């Protein structure tokens, strides 16, 4: 399952790091950040709960760049 | 400027004022250090906080860390003014970067400004303005002049000219009237339209295109992947270098019995750290690709990913489908050969006798001689399967059909080899002539193939399921290097695979089709290009590059944009790495100071961002314009 989230990230290097960190979160099969389009695309592992996984993703992203915003719907 | 940018600007101005003030305030020792710490913290508190957080979490090799170490180091060495100023200029640079990226993002998005803001819903005679997302299919909406068509639908009443520019790049407006399909994203130039929506807003053309372009930056190019891998090695390497300069060199000098010069080497190490920030690279490359994709979509060329833009620039082989790609894919009367009557008379008889037939050939005859011109009365219509049709047209017995039909009627016809379908006509038992109905080569097809060759495409090949005869005529008319005819869809895949096996490692093959039954070949080629995709979801789905209109010239235009984008990407890589390499060496041998370091970091980044914006500055059409302005006479098969 793939979902798309809005993300506000100001620095391109941070986006790269956040992408790498999000990929390592349990339940995430693949993560990709479009810096220009400000979108975060998460491919979830089958059976994962997107909301719970996204909270983890948000946590690791905030660790890298506290200013970043992810809209988890 | 958003709230955060304003806040940063405020901090910059405050810190700057304090620093200028301190120039006139003579303080020494601890007082001086304390006074300079005020602007230093005002301007750099977030960087320092981030750096500390990074150290705690073991994420030490980021730019915050580099800046914090460099400036704190300068403070430690007693260079208070420099330490604070470096932090200040770093923040100025960050602000510039944020503004430049925001601005370019906005200008690229503005190019694709097809998202409808509202829809005028008609309900019981009243019109209300609603969010397009709330409009269900089947609703009647009103589109006034100057408004965007918000949702795909069919015109119920009214006529208007529509500006399709945002969708196809085509500047000629299109006229629509009742019964015509309208697509979201078009702008109504004149007249009020009442439209019955056929789709929901998120299923409409505008939303589909926007989603595609927005997602395109997700598919990363090789250049972007290179930078990601590069940054992973680069920052630790620089930190190691700085450590060696700061500690290794003085210790080495001590061992050699010389003065260690701790502070001088520390300063060099700090300069090295500032120079080394990889931002210019990391930011300018996705920006350039996004710009290239934006510039292409403004011309009606949708590229589904940076990787495809990259491949588009390297195309050496172009394989075309024939029908619908190089030809229009619709049958038209292309030749009328009467015997003993005028062309118009022959057409009138043919159109009359075929009036009630639903065969595509009959419809093309109707189109050549529309019913409103036909006065004749048609009776006794009869369809003879496998032969043709027969009827009484204004009192004359008319028969129209193939050569076999004529033979059956006892009339001899000469059968020359033709690329289309020949309709023979007999009137009152006498042979009256023949009409050739065939597919028409697109007027721009020859120019498109020519432009591809000029752009360095090595080989152009046409594949078709049509007869060798028809293929030969089209191939000669458009000037492709080779063609293969009589292919089934699976044969096309084999043919493309054969070409793929024969090409060089760095060469790329593009397949151009109409996207309707080409899906397997589109997928197999390095770059699958679908044409005339406006309104066809299947084509948008199957291809890597989607041409919104039917114009094959867009292929070379897309290649030109892709090449320009890649050129800028390469320039930026060389610029950023080159300047950094030079300054890193200068810094290591003590020739570059903090100010040079700031230029190497911020200056290069701003240059790279400006360079990326060049993709929009020059009109892309220049390379193609002379080709289009040539009077391309309509080629007939």
Residue-wise pLDDT tens digits, B419-460: 677 888 999 888 888 888 888 888 889 999 999 999 989 999
User: Per CB distance under 8 Å, which residues of B are interface residues toward A?
Assistant: 4, 50, 53, 57, 59, 62-63, 98, 101, 105, 108, 214-215, 217-218, 220, 228, 231, 278-279, 282-283, 286-287, 290
What domain count does chain A have? Answer: 1
Q: Which of B446, B556, B459, B447 is nearest to B508 (CA)?
A: B459
Complete edge-to-edge strand list for the sheet that includes strand A69-71: A28-34, A39-44, A2-8, A69-71
Using 50, 70 and 90 to split pLDDT, how confident is the model at B372?
A: low
| B218, pLDDT greater than 60 | yes
Kindly report each contact of residues B82-86 with a partner whose C-beta sits within 8 Å and lies 24 or more positions away, as own/partner.
B82/B594, B83/B36, B83/B40, B84/B15, B84/B19, B84/B36, B84/B39, B84/B40, B84/B43, B84/B44, B85/B19, B85/B594, B86/B274, B86/B594, B86/B597, B86/B598
Say which residues have a Cβ less than 8 Å from residue B414's Cβ, sequence separation at least 6: none
Q: Return mean pLDDT, chain B.
A: 82
| CB B291, CB B616: distance < 8 Å | yes
Among the ranges given (B58-62, B316-320, B484-488), the one the predictor scored with the smallest mean pLDDT: B58-62
Cβ contact, residue pair B282, A12, below 8 Å: yes
| CB A18, CB B282: distance < 8 Å | no
Cβ contact, residue pair A36, B287, below 8 Å: yes
Cβ contact, residue pair B217, A34, below 8 Å: yes
Complete edge-to-edge strand list for the sheet that includes strand B193-197: B126-130, B119-123, B140-143, B193-197, B153-157, B181-182
* pTM exceeds 0.95, yes or no: no
Nearest to A34 among B218, B228, B278 (CB): B218
Q: Which of B227, B211, B95, B111 is nearest to B615 (CA)?
A: B111
Say which residues have a Cβ less than 8 Å from residue B179's Cβ, sequence separation at least 6: B154, B155
pLDDT for B637: 34
pLDDT for B41: 92
What CATH number is given to the structural domain containing A55?
3.30.70.100
Cβ contact, residue pair B98, A66, below 8 Å: no
Among the ranges given (A53-62, B56-65, B238-247), the one the predictor scored with the smallest mean pLDDT: B56-65
Mean pLDDT of B379-398: 85
Give contacts of A10 with chain B, Cβ < 8 Å: 4, 98, 101
Share of chain B above pLDDT 70, in %: 90
| B239, pLDDT greater than 90 | no
Say which residues have a Cβ less than 8 Å from residue A65's Cβ, sequence separation at least 6: A9, A10, A11, A14, A18
Chain A closest-CA separation from residue B47 CA (Å)? 11
Using 50, 70 and 90 to split pLDDT, how confident is the model at B632?
A: very low
Q: Which of B517, B481, B514, B486 is nearest to B499 (CA)?
A: B481
Cβ contact, residue pair A34, B214, below 8 Å: yes
More confident residue, B368 or A55: A55
Give contacts of A64 with chain B, Cβ < 8 Å: 59
Chain B closest-CA separation from residue A17 CA (Å)? 9
pLDDT for B617: 64
Cα–chain center distance at B190: 29
Mean pLDDT of B13-42: 88
Chain A closest-CA separation from residue B520 CA (Å)? 24
User: Catalytic: B344?
Assistant: no
pLDDT tens column, B76-89: 888 888 888 888 88
Give contacts of B287 with chain A, Cβ < 8 Å: 36
Q: Which of B428, B352, B375, B437 is nearest to B402 (CA)?
A: B437
CA nearest A68 in B: which residue?
Answer: B4
Chain B closest-CA separation from residue A23 CA (Å)? 14
| Catalytic residue chosen out of the listed positions B152, B321, B439, B526 | B321
Cα–chain center distance at B239: 40
pLDDT for B417: 54
Nearest to A13 among B63, B101, B220 (CB): B63
pLDDT for B563: 93
Nearest to A37 among B59, B214, B282 (CB): B214
| B514, pLDDT greater than 50 | yes
Fold type of domain B136-199: 2.70.150
Q: Which of B189, B197, B184 is nearest to B162 (CA)?
A: B189
Mean pLDDT of B503-526: 83
Using 50, 70 and 90 to split pLDDT, how confident is the model at B418?
A: low
| B279, pLDDT greater than 90 | no
pLDDT tens column, B118-146: 899 988 888 899 888 888 999 999 999 88
Secondary structure class of B261 (helix, strand, coil): coil
pLDDT for A62: 85
B425 DSSP β-pair partners: B400, B433
Nearest to A36 among B228, B282, B290 (CB): B290
């Amino acid at each position: 399952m793939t979902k798309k989230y809005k993300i506000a990230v100001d620095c391109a290097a941070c986006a790269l790091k956040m992408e790498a960190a999000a990929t390592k979160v349990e339940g995430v099969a693949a993560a990709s950040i479009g810096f220009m389009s400000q979108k975060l695309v998460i491919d979830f592992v089958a059976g994962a709960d997107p909301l719970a996984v996204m909270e983890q993703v948000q946590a690791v992203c905030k660790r890298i760049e506290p200013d970043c915003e992810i809209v988890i719907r | 400027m958003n709230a955060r940018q304003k806040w940063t600007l405020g901090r910059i101005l405050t810190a700057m004022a304090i620093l200028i003030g301190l120039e006139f305030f003579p303080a020494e020792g601890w007082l001086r250090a304390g006074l300079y710490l005020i602007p230093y913290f005002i301007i750099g508190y977030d960087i320092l906080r981030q750096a500390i957080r990074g150290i705690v979490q073991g994420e030490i090799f980021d730019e915050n860390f580099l800046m914090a170490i460099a400036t704190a180091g300068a403070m430690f060495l007693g260079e208070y003014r420099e330490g604070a100023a470096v932090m200040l200029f770093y923040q100025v640079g960050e602000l510039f970067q944020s503004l430049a990226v925001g601005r370019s993002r906005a200008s690229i998005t503005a190019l694709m400004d097809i998202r409808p803001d509202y829809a005028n819903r008609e309900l019981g005679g009243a019109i209300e303005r609603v969010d397009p997302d709330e409009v269900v299919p089947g609703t009647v909406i009103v589109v006034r002049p100057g408004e965007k068509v918000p949702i795909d639908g069919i015109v119920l009443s009214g006529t208007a000219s529509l500006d399709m520019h945002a969708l196809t790049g085509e500047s000629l407006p299109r006229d629509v009237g009742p019964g015509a399909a309208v697509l979201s994203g078009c702008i109504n130039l004149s007249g009020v339209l009442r439209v019955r929506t056929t789709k929901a807003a998120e299923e409409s053309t505008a939303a589909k295109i926007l989603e595609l372009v927005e997602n395109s930056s997700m598919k990363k190019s090789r250049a972007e992947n290179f930078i990601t891998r590069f940054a992973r090695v680069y920052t630790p390497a620089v930190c190691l270098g700085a450590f060696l300069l700061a500690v290794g060199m003085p210790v080495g000098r001590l061992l050699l019995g010389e003065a260690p010069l701790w502070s001088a080497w520390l300063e060099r190490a700090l300069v090295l750290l500032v120079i080394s920030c990889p931002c210019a690279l990391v930011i300018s490359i996705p920006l350039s690709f996004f710009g290239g994709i934006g510039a292409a979509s403004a011309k009606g060329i949708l590229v589904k990913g940076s990787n495809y833009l990259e491949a588009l620039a390297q195309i050496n082989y172009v394989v075309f489908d024939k029908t619908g790609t190089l030809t229009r894919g619709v049958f038209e009367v292309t030749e009328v050969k009467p015997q003993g009557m005028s062309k118009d008379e022959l057409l009138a008889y043919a159109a009359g006798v075929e009036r009630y037939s639903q065969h595509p050939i009959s419809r093309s005859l109707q189109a050549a001689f529309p019913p409103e011109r036909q006065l004749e009365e048609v009776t006794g219509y009869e369809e003879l399967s496998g032969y043709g049709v027969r009827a009484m047209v204004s009192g004359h017995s008319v028969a129209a059909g193939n050569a076999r039909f004529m033979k059956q009627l006892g009339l001899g016809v000469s059968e020359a080899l033709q690329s289309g379908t020949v309709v023979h006509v007999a009137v009152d038992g006498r042979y009256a002539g023949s009409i050739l109905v065939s597919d028409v080569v697109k007027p721009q097809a020859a120019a498109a193939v020519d432009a591809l060759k000029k752009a360095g495409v090595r080989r152009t090949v046409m594949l078709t399921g049509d007869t060798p005869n028809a293929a030969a005529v089209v191939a000669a008319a458009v000037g492709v290097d080779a063609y293969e005819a009589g292919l089934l869809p699976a044969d096309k895949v084999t043919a493309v695979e054969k070409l793929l096996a024969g090409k060089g490692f760095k060469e790329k093959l593009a397949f151009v089709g109409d996207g309707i039954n080409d899906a397997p070949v589109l997928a197999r080629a390095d770059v699958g290009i679908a044409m005339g995709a406006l309104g066809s979801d299947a084509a948008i789905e199957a291809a890597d590059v989607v041409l919104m209109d039917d114009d094959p010239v867009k292929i070379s235009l897309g290649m030109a944009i892709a090449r320009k984008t890649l050129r800028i990407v390469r320039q930026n890589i060389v610029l950023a790495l080159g300047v950094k390499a030079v300054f890193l060496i200068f810094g290591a041998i003590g020739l570059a100071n903090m100010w040079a370091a700031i230029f190497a970091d911020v200056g290069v980044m701003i240059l790279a961002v400006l360079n990326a914006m060049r993709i929009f500055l020059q009109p892309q059409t220049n390379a193609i314009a002379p080709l289009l302005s040539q009077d391309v006479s309509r080629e007939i098969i």
